[in-house]
A = this chain, B = another copy of it.
Amino acid sequence: METFADRLIKAIEKKQNPSIVGLDPRLEQIPSFIKEEMIKKYGKTFEAAAESIIFFNKKIIDAVKDIVPAVKPQIAFYEKYLAPGIRAFKETVDYAKSKGLIVIEDGKRNDIGSTAQAYSEAHLGKVDLFGEKVSAFDVDCITVNPYLGIDGIAPFIADVKKHGKGIFVLVKTSNPSSGDFQDLETKGKKIYEVVADLVNKWNQDTIGNSGYGSVGAVVGATYPEEAVILRKLMPKSIFLVPGYGAQGGGAKDTIPCFNRDGYGAVINSSREIIFAYEKQKREADFDKAAKEAAVKMKDDLNNALKEAGIRAW
């Protein structure tokens, strides 16, 4: 079975693109013509919200499927619409996978051992359904929060190994207050460095043919200095890098997240890609606007990598 990291690296090579698209379908920003049609069919209901999201996401996926290696749906924006929202999430995952995209779920799940196992079975592994083992969300990878320590992470790592899946552990997040706890110092090390050392350790026996392992790290593009340190501490982990674009990180800020081989990082952008149509007032062409924005991001990142002397595709 191919590992998650190997599949992801292969997809990055194929698309010649380390950038991914965040599927955060904020209902307020979905084009009106889609919502009006769904309200006509289903009324102002959670079903109409779910159908709007599914329609929107499928068009976005069709638009970017040949450009990016992966998509990152943020489950908060689906959970908002209860059961219909979760159905929209699952349909989005299945559709993206059917189009050859890798799906990285942004869920930041975490709990104590036996409950972490329930989350892992739900999102990465197999669920016991009356004695039969069946897939539930079946995403390729999920983000997880490390605050509960190893026994909250271990069940996910078991499923990473068993099912060729991946996790990205929150190490240094992109938000302004990420330092409240992550930057605290303990015995001369920052907390994010302590987490990084453990991620590096957990990653070791998941390393595949690509040289990378499937226990990765979330490292915000908004903290390039910290990224320099973290890249050294976790040389064989892939970084999932939020914060590019709407959150203020530029292409240059993402460079420290890459290894000198040009791999080791996937850079996410959500709003600036999927809602690119807004600034351009191209509602009917929202998918084309997203495609153009995705191409622009790809070029922006590859130019920065070229300028940094790391890689020229």
Contacts and interface: CB of A to CB of B under 8 A. Distances in A.
A170 interface: yes
Contact of A84 (B83, B132, B170): B83
A83 B81 contact: no
Contacts of A132: 44
A149 B191 CA distance: 13
Interface string A161-185: 0000000001001111111111011
B112 A80 contact: no
B175 A113 contact: yes
Interface in A137-189: 137, 145-152, 170, 173-182, 184-187
Given A35-B130, A175-B112, A83 B80 contact: no
A72 to B, nearest CB: 12
| Identical chains bound together, number | 2
A210 interface: no
Interface of A: 24, 26-28, 35, 39, 44-46, 48-49, 74, 76-77, 79-87, 90, 106, 108-113, 115-116, 118-119, 121-122, 127-130, 132, 136-137, 145-152, 170, 173-182, 184-187, 191, 194-195, 198, 242
A86 B50 CA distance: 14
A19 to B, nearest CB: 19
A212 to B, nearest CB: 24
B195 A76 contact: no
Contacts of A113: 175-176
A74 B147 contact: no
26 contacts: A26-B118, A39-B130, A46-B129, A48-B130, A49-B130, A74-B111, A76-B109, A79-B86, A79-B122, A81-B127, A81-B136, A82-B86, A83-B86, A86-B86, A108-B110, A108-B111, A112-B242, A113-B175, A113-B176, A147-B182, A148-B173, A148-B178, A149-B175, A149-B182, A151-B175, A181-B195
Nearest to A44: B130
Contacts of A186: 184-186, 191
Nearest to A147: B147
A191 to B, nearest CB: 7
Given A147-B146, A184-B194, A136 B76 contact: no
